[in-house]
């Protein structure tokens, strides 16, 4: 009997909803584990889940300094897609997509992954060619992508301004139908519950304050809840990577932490049934099941750990929004927040063994962290369990930057705020 | 009995009547009314439907904290959803409709959801709708089917599809002191600051300045508080260093005391004055911010607390005093603190009968008791309301014994007839802006609320914001916040009640007790969240959606926290508080875009733009630029037009506008030396009066840009860049000069907009020039390839460089931008006898493809100089930017994508963005070996050709492969060839 | 965020463009130390706290400024011309 189902929901409704168990235990840390995963966000939790599920490693602790899912997994715009240009990226993200498609069943937790498509709008012939190049790249890797005409686009999203008189007229778009959105918090909670039910200890309010070392080798961590030792220590802390790695004596990394803002409008009846991106800016949007438009734009563009954005960018994002949707001018923005993006030097992530013996590193997610959650955990778990990367994450090394083996989807070079 | 307007009283203007419609029905009100007050005056008690259960809801609050009464405003075809009726002023012709109901507000089928409410508890959707694991509905299908129905049911207001015709405006302001809130504390602060000579801005979210003074019965300076406030407002309005901003909601507190505010300029007007925007987005940079934002009264959580006609006590007071509204005839009061007694007195004086005051406390203060006695109300201490009855209106309340220590309810329920229940659960200071500014709230046991910290950076608080509820103390704080001054705190007479509440937030009894009204989050939902482990504040919020509705939990946050704390057996501060983020209240998106609504980016036009328009050009967007694509003749297709333009150019002459090229003056004694460092090739050896093609790398060794640079003098160079990279290159050079090599004596000046440029190409181009250029010869001797001369064209001074992008004999003729059109017309005139045509980007692109010249399509940030066969430009004699990085292992090697030419073998067009494969598979395309960067029909070759970046392309010349373009369904055989299609020896341009 | 440009005065951060960490040392132009070049181009300290960085006042005088700014509070602690780092100005 599955713990969550229409039947158990009904049964519990009849008994006053008194019998539901905690989604995950409030575990006390034990002194020793096989694997410690630092970071109770999406990636840390999915890593723990796949360590247990795929590799049978259940003597695992996930250490989270705040509440579970308090990082980017709970502060993103929920888009899931695999429409990257470069094969290293799109193969990895497509593996994520495969996991996403069965994630609710796998976790027995409805993460509400809805494949409502992701449409990149193009505004010049050159840009359309560029998007088609990317779409064709996907098709040659067996990933879906199709061209949409202005007419088809208008039918799909009637609120769009497709008039030729727009400052940047829409001349077409490239659609990935398998893309979509998921309920972000549910992903964290679902993985947490899944890992917990398989024996993983999830320890909240437990901040790592230092690493225990035996020579070069990392053997454990000191935390606000005491010393914890482990054979393997995995770091999956996104925006805090720099700070945590400094505790291990790693002073520099090919990463900058920058702030990315996101916004939600007031709840509206359905008006946007896909994920949409604007080609002449960074604006992107979707509409949640509750009715709020969920949208964002460019990075604020400077290093920040503040989780707060700046006003000029708020204005820019909304200007871009109205360039596409002139009827939404009278709708109102309800909430805004800032997330920390660990921007890497080529815009692609790092999932690797090392850099110290006993340590494993997962970081550099740029804007791609949420959609990567399943594959990131899956690959990282593989890497931890087998001490070598899976073919899918083998390109995502830490030394690739120095060696010039770059995976630069946007072609922006070592300027993270431009990726 | 329904709510109604009292015979007299209120600050509305009863001499005038305003007509508006609600759900199509006409209503009247008076100037000064909100939709809420006017509808209450007309006996309306049902205002909206809740989000999940579609429960009937009335007015709970009187201001920006209202969770229930949301309406959509119709303005022509434009729709403005989710507007609080309590914040919307009426005006003649205003049209509002209720929302989230079908078919009507009174009869809403969505209310059936209530029947399944046990199933629809917090987080139910995480536990179901997953569908079968196998079969046709596996994966995401079943969920998406359910979701489709859920989405249609969810959502509040409906947005329009017609463009909003309104104009929005942005205003920047600077002040020494920004006062937020115009209650007594705020007014006092503004007055004090103004008298000190500070530049003051006073922002008030309501239409009427004065805040609580408008609805209190207190006396300030021996006059009614509202008269005192009106006097101060009048003084401040005429003070030159004070700006008063009513209807202005301060919603964002950003870094560096940058404050964002939204002014509703004409929303309350039937006919705005000419030039008035609908709303104005203010960015205020303030030396100091005085936060006098007051406090929100909190409701109590008990079964039936959401029935229409259950209202916050202070809201009723405000409706009575400010709007002359009696919310009911027989009014009951339910409280945990003394402030509701003041409300009781106010309501009684307004004409209501106070039937009972139900107080959870055992003991109440003598002052409160004295008031209660005066109202004639029955005082029921140690009692609690445990349910309410009535349908869409209140008929009676049920009261039971209540033990404040255990929270237990006991005894028989006593029924008390009442048509209005006023509730007070204590007060929460409005600390949102301080929280946005980074302040950590501190729990006050005394006021049972979160207070702002005392020490702040950039802001200072005053009045109820600080948890200071005594009027006299609030005025004193206002005075101090405004700055030292000669003014005294005015004398005050007030009810002298201590509002510190008993720590009671919820009455646990049978029935649905709402915490978050709009999102239908009940106390049981909070407890369910606790049971399932969603116990931190953020988990509570996210799991139950508490505080996530459009009112952002203004009335619900603290109660939710308290119920969770109780379930955990912890104190409230141990559970924590949410950090508030912008905006404090929802902000119109149009206002945020302001002038950029409809004008997102400036347009860049070349000096000759009007000529192009007049001569039939169609345009491309190139960044911000508009550039001619073709100059089509009537009936021509794009391809026919560019083929004609290319042919004529290659056979006779053509002219193109190249003014958009980036142009940078590089000047100074070290200019040549500097260029040697930033270009891969050498410029110090370039003689004066000559130009050279140059290639620039990024620091990481990949190609940044290319272009020609002209040596105009020993220390003067004119660098040209590609149109797209002009800004990037400038920034790159400036960084190097300013940060890395400040010792170099070089200055950089962007002159892109200062020069107009025309490229004249074709075998007869020299003749064209000869026919119109004076002051210099243009023969091969005087003006050799890459030579530069100065002269005049029809009186306009010009600089001419002989260089070629098209591969023809060609010249770039530059004049000052102001002479651009003149020069262009003179050149066109001179070209006529030679059959010269104007050509656009399509022809330019075709000619460069024929020549194999690279542009941005190839220089995509991932290619090296070697990939583009530009190895010959990499100097081995000197280091240059990128020289140490360009040969790292990942950037060299035979398998990189390299530039090649592609020739169509099936005589069908090729496309940029198509891929190249060795094995054609239309159904399952696979193993791309590269992609086309550009394609055209070559008039000179009579073939469809293109450029491509192909894996190990250099070694593949002559290979037969395929173009594979599944997105455009174009597949076909092609041949890989050298990228030099046409005149590879360059005889034509040297001729 | 307000940045006090030593040339133009206090200006909104939107007039400036972030140009990366200021603490990095570019090797001498003729240096052949590959690892030093790699470090310059790719490695970042990424401090949570007082952070050395370069901004260009691109919407103003176009000077490059060396700024110390707290990346947790966004407080700008000092601003000087990048070309003139010896001449420490008073905190902005």
Per-residue pLDDT tens over the stretch B347-377:
999 999 999 999 999 999 999 999 999 999 9
Q: How many angstroms separate the CA of residue B345 from the nearest CA in chain A?
A: 37
Chain C neighbors of B285, CB-CB under 8 A: 2, 12
Name the residue in chain B with its Cα closest to that of A144: B967
Reply yes or no on whether the pLDDT at A417 is more than 90.
no
Chain B neighbors of C19, CB-CB under 8 A: 735, 739
Of A232-236, B53-57, B813-817, minimum mean pLDDT range: B53-57
Domain boundaries, position B730: 662-750
Structural domain boundaries of chain A? 28-82+85-107+184-254+346-418, 118-180+256-344
Q: Which residue has the tokens 């005394």?
A: B446
Helix/strand/coil (H/E/C) assignment for every residue in B82-108: EEECCCCECCCCEEEEECCCCECCCCE
pLDDT tier for residue C89 given thresholds of 50, 70 and 90:
very low
Reply yes or no on whether the pLDDT at B166 is more than 70.
yes
Q: How many angstroms separate the CA of residue C35 from the nearest CA in chain B?
A: 10
Name the residue in chain A with its Cα closest to that of C17: A301
Same-domain status, B239 and B318 = no
pLDDT by residue (tens digit) across A261-317?
Answer: 999 999 999 999 999 999 999 999 999 999 999 999 999 999 999 988 999 999 999
Residue B583 is assigned to a structural domain of this protein: no
Chain B neighbors of A321, CB-CB under 8 A: 589, 593
Question: What's the pLDDT score for residue B835?
Answer: 97
Q: How many angstroms separate the CA of residue B704 from the nearest CA in chain C?
A: 15
Q: Do B731 and C17 touch (CB under 8 A)?
A: yes
Cα–Cα distances in Å, from B32 out to A68, A282, B181, B271, B686? Answer: 49, 43, 19, 17, 78
User: Does an H or E element contain B791, and which?
Assistant: strand B788-793
pLDDT by residue (tens digit) across B19-56?
Answer: 999 999 999 999 999 999 999 999 999 999 998 899 99
On whether the CB atoms of residues B87 and B68 are closer than 8 A, the answer is no
CATH classification at residue B786: 3.30.1360.120
Question: What's the pLDDT score for residue B941?
Answer: 95
Same-domain status, B389 and B367 = yes
Q: How many angstroms separate the CA of residue A314 from the nearest CA in chain C?
A: 11
Q: How many angstroms separate the CA of residue A167 from the nearest CA in chain B?
A: 7
Same-domain status, B206 and B353 = no
Residue B920 is assigned to a structural domain of this protein: yes
Reply yes or no on whether the pLDDT at B990 is more than 90.
no
pLDDT tier for residue A1 given thresholds of 50, 70 and 90:
low
CATH classification at residue B383: 3.50.50.60
Reply yes or no on whether the pLDDT at B436 is more than 70.
yes
Name the residue in chain C with its Cα closest to that of B742: C83
Reply yes or no on whether the pLDDT at A4 is more than 60.
yes
A110 reaches C (C-beta below 8 A): no
Question: What's the pLDDT score for residue B293?
Answer: 97
Question: What's the pLDDT score for residue B577?
Answer: 79
Question: What's the pLDDT score for residue C88?
Answer: 40
Chain A residues 298-317 within an 8 A CB cutoff of chain C: 301-306, 308, 310, 312
Q: Do B581 and A113 touch (CB under 8 A)?
A: no
Q: How many angstroms separate the CA of residue A315 from the nearest CA in chain C?
A: 11
Same-domain status, B181 and B282 = yes
Of C1, C34, C82, the CB nearest to B884: C34
Mean per-residue pLDDT for B911-929? 97
Name the residue in chain B with its Cα closest to that of A175: B967
Question: Among residues B405, B413, B354, B406, which one has the least CA distance to residue B384?
Answer: B413
Using CA atoms, how far apart are residues A377 and A393, in angstroms rounded to an integer? 11
Q: How many angstroms separate the CA of residue C12 from the nearest CA in chain B?
A: 9
Question: What's the pLDDT score for residue A19?
Answer: 87
Interhelix angle B537-544/B557-568, nearest 10 degrees: 110
User: Does an H or E element contain B316, and which?
Assistant: helix B313-323
Q: How many angstroms separate the CA of residue C82 from the nearest CA in chain B?
A: 6
Residue % of chain B over a pLDDT of 70: 100
Chain A neighbors of C11, CB-CB under 8 A: none
Task: Tell me how crowded residue B622 is: count the other CB atoms within 10 A of its CB.
Answer: 17
pLDDT by residue (tens digit) across B651-666?
Answer: 999 999 999 999 999 9
Task: Tell me how crowded residue A262 is: count the other CB atoms within 10 A of its CB.
Answer: 20
Question: What's the pLDDT score for residue A271?
Answer: 96
On whether the CB atoms of residues B372 and B349 are closer than 8 A, the answer is no
Same-domain status, B738 and B805 = no
Of C18, C48, C72, the CB nearest to A301: C18
CATH classification at residue B929: 2.40.30.110
Same-domain status, B510 and B378 = yes
* Chain C neighbors (3+ CB pairs < 8 Å): A, B
Chain B neighbors of A13, CB-CB under 8 A: 118-119, 121
Interface test with A, best of C42, C65, C69 (most A CBs within 10 A): C42
A118-180+256-344 topology per CATH = D-Amino Acid Oxidase; Chain A, domain 2 (3.30.9)
Same-domain status, B975 and B923 = yes
Question: What's the pLDDT score for residue B989?
Answer: 85
How would you class B907 by CB atoms within 10 Å of its CB: exposed for 0-12, middle for 13-18, buried for 19 or more? exposed
A391 reaches C (C-beta below 8 A): no
Using CA atoms, how far apart are residues B588 and B262, in angstroms rounded to an integer? 8
Does the reported pTM lie above 0.90? yes
Residue B604 is assigned to a structural domain of this protein: no
Q: Which residue has the tokens 């909430």?
A: A335
Q: Do C48 and A257 touch (CB under 8 A)?
A: yes
Structural domains present in chain C: 2-84 (3.30.2270.10)
pLDDT by residue (tens digit) across B636-647?
Answer: 999 999 999 999
Q: Do C2 and B742 touch (CB under 8 A)?
A: no
Q: Do A331 and B594 touch (CB under 8 A)?
A: no
Helix (H, G, I), strand (E, B) or coil at A176: strand
CATH classification at residue B683: 3.30.70.1400
Cα–Cα distances in Å, from B545 out to A379, B147, B535, B538? Answer: 33, 18, 13, 10
Mean pLDDT of chain B: 95
Name the residue in chain B with its Cα closest to that of C57: B731
Q: Do C2 and B438 touch (CB under 8 A)?
A: no
Question: Among residues B307, B306, B380, B286, which one has the least CA distance to residue B340?
Answer: B380
Q: Do C27 and B884 touch (CB under 8 A)?
A: yes
Same-domain status, B49 and B98 = yes
Give the ipTM of the model, two decimals please: 0.95
Pairing of strands B25-29, B219-220: unpaired
Name the residue in chain B with its Cα closest to that of A10: B119
Q: Do A306 and C71 touch (CB under 8 A)?
A: yes
Using CA atoms, how far apart are residues C16 and C24, in angstroms rounded to an integer? 20
Cα–Cα distances in Å, from B291 out to A92, B741, B832? Answer: 50, 48, 72
Residue B619 is assigned to a structural domain of this protein: no
Using CA atoms, how far apart are residues B895 and A337, in angstroms rounded to an integer? 44
On whether the CB atoms of residues A316 and C14 are closer than 8 A, the answer is no
Mean pLDDT of chain A: 95
Reply yes or no on whether the pLDDT at C86 is more than 70.
no
Mean per-residue pLDDT for B882-911? 96
Residue % of chain B over a pLDDT of 90: 88
Same-domain status, B383 and B332 = yes
pLDDT tier for residue C92 given thresholds of 50, 70 and 90:
very low
Q: Read out DSSP for B521-586?
A: EEHHHHHHHHHTT--SHHHHHHHH-TT-STTTTTTTHHHHHHHHHHHHT--HHHH--PPP-S-SS-
Size of interface B-C (CB pairs under 8 A): 58
Using CA atoms, how far apart are residues B712 and B799, in angstroms rounded to an integer? 10
Chain A neighbors of B702, CB-CB under 8 A: 413
Mean per-residue pLDDT for B157-175? 94
Q: Do A257 and C72 touch (CB under 8 A)?
A: no
C50 reaches A (C-beta below 8 A): no
pLDDT by residue (tens digit) across A330-358?
Answer: 999 999 999 999 999 999 999 999 899 99
Chain A residues 325-354 within an 8 A CB cutoff of chain C: 345
Pairing of strands A217-223, A32-38: unpaired
Reply yes or no on whether the pLDDT at B233 is more than 90.
yes
Using CA atoms, how far apart are residues A406 and A384, in angstroms rounded to an integer? 23
Question: What's the pLDDT score for residue B234?
Answer: 97
Same-domain status, B829 and B891 = no
pLDDT by residue (tens digit) across B706-760?
Answer: 999 999 999 999 999 999 999 999 999 999 999 999 999 999 999 999 999 999 9
Last-in-domain residue among B573, B600, B622: B573
Number of domains in chain B: 6
Reply yes or no on whether the pLDDT at C87 is more than 60.
no
Q: How many angstroms separate the CA of residue A359 from the nearest CA in chain B?
A: 26
Same-domain status, B92 and B184 = no
Same-domain status, B924 and B973 = yes
Question: What's the pLDDT score for residue B115?
Answer: 80
pLDDT by residue (tens digit) across C52-61?
Answer: 999 999 999 9
For the domain spanning A28-82+85-107+184-254+346-418, the CATH number is 3.50.50.60
Q: What is the DSSP letter of A137?
A: H
Question: What's the pLDDT score for residue C40?
Answer: 97
Q: Do A289 and B151 touch (CB under 8 A)?
A: yes
């Amino acid at each position: 009997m599955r713990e969550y189902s229409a039947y158990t929901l009904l049964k519990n409704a009849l008994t006053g909803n008194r019998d539901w168990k905690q989604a995950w235990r409030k575990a006390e840390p034990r002194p020793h584990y096989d694997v410690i995963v630092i970071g109770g966000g999406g990636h840390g939790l999915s890593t723990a889940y796949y360590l247990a599920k795929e590799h049978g490693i259940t003597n695992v602790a996930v250490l989270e300094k705040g509440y579970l899912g308090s990082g980017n997994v709970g502060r993103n715009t929920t888009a899931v897609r695999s429409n990257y240009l470069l094969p290293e990226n799109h193969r990895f993200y497509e593996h994520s997509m495969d996991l996403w498609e069965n994630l609710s069943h796998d976790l027995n937790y409805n993460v509400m992954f809805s494949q409502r498509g992701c449409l990149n709008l193009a505004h010049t012939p050159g840009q359309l060619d560029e998007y088609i190049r990317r779409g064709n790249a996907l098709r040659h890797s067996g990933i879906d992508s199709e061209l949409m005409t202005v007419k088809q686009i208008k039918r799909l999203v009637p609120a769009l301004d497709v008039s030729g008189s727009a400052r940047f007229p829409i001349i077409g778009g490239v659609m990935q139908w398998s893309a979509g959105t998921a309920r972000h918090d549910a992903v964290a909670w679902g993985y947490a519950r899944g890992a917990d039910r398989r024996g993983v200890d999830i320890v909240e309010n437990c901040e790592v304050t230092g690493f225990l070392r035996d020579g070069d080798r990392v053997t454990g961590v000191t935390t606000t809840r005491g010393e914890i030792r482990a054979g393997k220590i995995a770091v999956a802390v996104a925006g805090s990577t720099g700070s945590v790695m400094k505790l291990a004596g790693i002073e520099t990394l090919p990463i900058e932490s920058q702030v990315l803002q996101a916004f939600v409008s007031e709840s509206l009846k359905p008006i946007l049934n896909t994920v949409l991106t604007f080609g002449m800016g960074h604006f992107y949007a979707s509409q949640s099941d509750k009715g709020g438009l969920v949208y964002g734009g460019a990075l604020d563009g400077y290093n920040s750990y503040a989780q707060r954005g700046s006003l000029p960018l708020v204005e820019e994002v909304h200007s871009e929004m109205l360039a596409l949707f002139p009827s939404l001018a009278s709708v109102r923005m309800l909430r805004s927040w800032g997330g920390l993006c660990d921007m890497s030097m080529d815009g692609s992530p790092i999932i690797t063994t090392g850099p110290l013996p006993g340590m494993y590193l997962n970081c550099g997610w740029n804007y791609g962290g949420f959609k990567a959650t399943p594959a990131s955990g899956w690959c990282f778990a593989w890497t931890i369990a087998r001490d070598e990367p899976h073919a899918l994450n083998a390109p995502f090394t830490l030394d690739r930057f120095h060696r010039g083996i770059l995976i630069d989807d946007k072609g922006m070079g070592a300027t993270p705020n431009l990726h | 009995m329904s709510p109604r307007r009292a015979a007299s009283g209120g600050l509305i203007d009863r001499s005038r009547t305003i007509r508006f419609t609600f759900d199509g029905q006409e209503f009247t009100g008076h100037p000064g009314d909100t939709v809420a007050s006017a509808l209450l005056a007309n006996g309306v008690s049902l205002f909206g439907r809740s989000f999940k259960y579609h429960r009937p809801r009335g007015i709970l609050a009187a201001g920006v904290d209202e969770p229930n009464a949301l309406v959509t405003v119709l303005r022509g075809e434009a729709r403005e959803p989710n507007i609080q009726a309590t914040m919307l002023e009426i005006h003649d012709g205003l049209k509002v409709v209720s929302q989230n109901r079908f078919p009507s507000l009174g009869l809403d089928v969505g209310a059936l959801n209530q029947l399944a409410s046990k199933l629809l508890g917090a987080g139910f959707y995480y536990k179901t709708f997953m569908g079968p694991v196998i079969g046709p509905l596996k994966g995401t299908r079943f969920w998406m089917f359910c979701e489709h129905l859920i989405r249609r049911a969810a959502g509040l207001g409906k947005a329009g599809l017609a463009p909003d015709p309104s104009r929005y405006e942005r205003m920047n302001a600077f002040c020494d002191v920004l006062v937020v809130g115009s209650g007594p504390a705020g007014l006092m602060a503004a007055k004090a600051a103004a008298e000190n000579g500070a530049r003051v801005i006073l922002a008030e979210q309501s239409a009427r300045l004065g805040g609580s003074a408008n609805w209190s019965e207190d006396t300030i300076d021996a006059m009614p508080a509202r008269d005192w406030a009106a006097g101060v407002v009048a003084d401040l309005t005429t003070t030159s260093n004070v700006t008063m901003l009513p209807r202005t909601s301060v919603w964002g507190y950003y870094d560096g005391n940058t404050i964002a505010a939204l002014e509703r300029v004409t929303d309350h007007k039937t006919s705005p004055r000419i030039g008035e925007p609908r709303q104005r987005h203010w960015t205020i940079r303030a030396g100091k911010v005085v936060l006098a934002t007051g406090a929100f009264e909190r409701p109590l959580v008990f079964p039936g607390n959401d029935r229409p006609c259950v209202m916050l006590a202070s809201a009723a007071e405000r409706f009575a005093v400010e709007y002359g509204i009696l919310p009911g005839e027989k009014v009951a009061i339910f409280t945990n603190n003394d402030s509701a007694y003041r409300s009781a007195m106010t309501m009684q004086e307004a004409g209501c009968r106070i039937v009972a005051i139900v107080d959870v406390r055992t003991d109440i203060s003598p002052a409160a008791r004295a008031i209660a006695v005066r109202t004639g109300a029955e005082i029921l201490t140690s009692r609690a309301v445990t349910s309410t009855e009535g349908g869409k209106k209140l008929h009676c309340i049920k009261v039971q014994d209540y033990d404040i220590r255990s929270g237990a309810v006991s005894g028989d329920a006593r029924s008390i007839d009442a048509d209005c229940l006023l509730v007070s659960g204590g007060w929460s200071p409005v600390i949102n802006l301080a929280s946005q500014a980074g302040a950590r709230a501190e729990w006050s046991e005394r006021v049972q609320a979160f207070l702002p910290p005392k020490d702040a950076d950039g802001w200072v608080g005053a009045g109820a914001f600080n948890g200071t509820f005594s009027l006299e103390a609030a005025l004193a704080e206002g005075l101090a916040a405004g700055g030292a001054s000669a003014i005294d705190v005015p004398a005050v007479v007030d009810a002298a009640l201590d509002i510190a509440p008993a720590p009671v937030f919820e009455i646990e009894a049978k029935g649905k007790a709402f915490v978050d009204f709009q999102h239908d989050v009940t106390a049981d939902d909070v407890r369910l969240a606790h049971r399932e482990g969603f116990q931190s504040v953020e988990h509570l919020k996210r799991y139950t959606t508490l505080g996530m509705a459009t009112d952002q939990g203004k009335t619900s946050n603290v109660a939710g926290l308290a119920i969770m704390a109780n379930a955990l057996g912890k104190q409230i501060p141990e559970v924590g508080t949410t950090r508030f983020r912008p905006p404090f209240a929802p902000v119109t998106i149009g206002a945020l875009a302001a002038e950029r609504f409809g004008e997102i980016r400036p347009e860049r036009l070349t000096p000759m733009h009007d000529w192009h328009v007049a001569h039939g050009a169609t345009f491309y967007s190139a960044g911000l630029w508009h550039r001619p694509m073709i100059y089509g003749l009537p009936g021509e297709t794009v391809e026919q037009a560019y083929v004609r333009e290319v042919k004529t150019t290659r056979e006779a002459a053509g002219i193109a506008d190249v003014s958009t090229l980036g142009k940078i003056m590089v000047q100074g004694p070290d200019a040549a030396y500097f260029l040697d460092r930033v270009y891969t090739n050498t410029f110090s050896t370039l003689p004066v009066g000559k130009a050279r093609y140059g290639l620039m790398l990024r620091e990481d060794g990949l190609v940044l840009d290319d272009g020609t640079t002209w040596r105009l003098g020993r220390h003067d160079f004119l660098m040209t860049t590609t149109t797209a990279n002009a800004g990037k290159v400038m920034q790159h050079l400036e960084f190097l000069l300013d940060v890395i090599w400040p010792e170099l004596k070089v200055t950089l000046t962007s002159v892109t907009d200062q020069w107009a440029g025309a490229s004249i190409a074709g075998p007869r181009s020299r003749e064209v020039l000869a026919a119109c250029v004076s002051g210099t010869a243009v023969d091969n001797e005087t003006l050799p390839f890459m030579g530069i001369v100065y002269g005049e064209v029809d009186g306009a001074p010009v600089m001419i460089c002989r260089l070629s992008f098209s591969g023809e004999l060609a010249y770039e003729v530059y004049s000052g931008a102001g002479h651009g059109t003149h020069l262009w017309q003179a050149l066109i005139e001179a070209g006529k006898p030679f059959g010269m045509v104007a050509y656009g980007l399509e022809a330019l692109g075709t000619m460069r493809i024929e020549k194999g010249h690279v542009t941005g399509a190839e220089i995509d940030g991932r290619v090296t100089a070697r990939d583009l066969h530009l190895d010959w430009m990499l100097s081995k004699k000197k280091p240059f930017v990128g020289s140490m990085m360009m040969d790292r292992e990942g950037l060299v090697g035979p398998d990189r994508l390299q530039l090649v030419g592609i020739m169509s073998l099936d005589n069908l067009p090729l496309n940029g963005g198509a891929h190249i494969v060795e094995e054609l598979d239309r159904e399952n395309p696979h193993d791309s070996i590269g992609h086309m960067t550009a394609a055209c029909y070559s008039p000179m070759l009579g073939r469809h050709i293109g450029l491509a970046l192909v894996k190990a392309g250099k070694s593949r010349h002559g290979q037969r492969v395929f173009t594979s373009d599944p997105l455009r369904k174009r597949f076909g055989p092609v041949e890989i060839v050298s990228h030099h299609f046409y005149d590879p020896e360059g005889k034509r341009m040297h001729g | 965020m307000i940045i006090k440009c030593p040339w133009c005065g206090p200006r909104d951060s939107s007039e400036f463009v972030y140009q990366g960490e200021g603490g990095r040392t570019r090797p001498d132009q003729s240096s052949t130390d590959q690892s030093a070049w790699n470090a310059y181009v790719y490695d970042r300290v990424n401090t949570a706290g007082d952070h050395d960085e370069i901004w260009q006042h691109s919407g103003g005088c176009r000077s490059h400024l060396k700024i110390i700014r707290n990346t947790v509070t966004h407080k700008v602690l000092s601003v000087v011309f990048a070309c003139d780092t010896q001449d420490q100005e008073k905190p902005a």
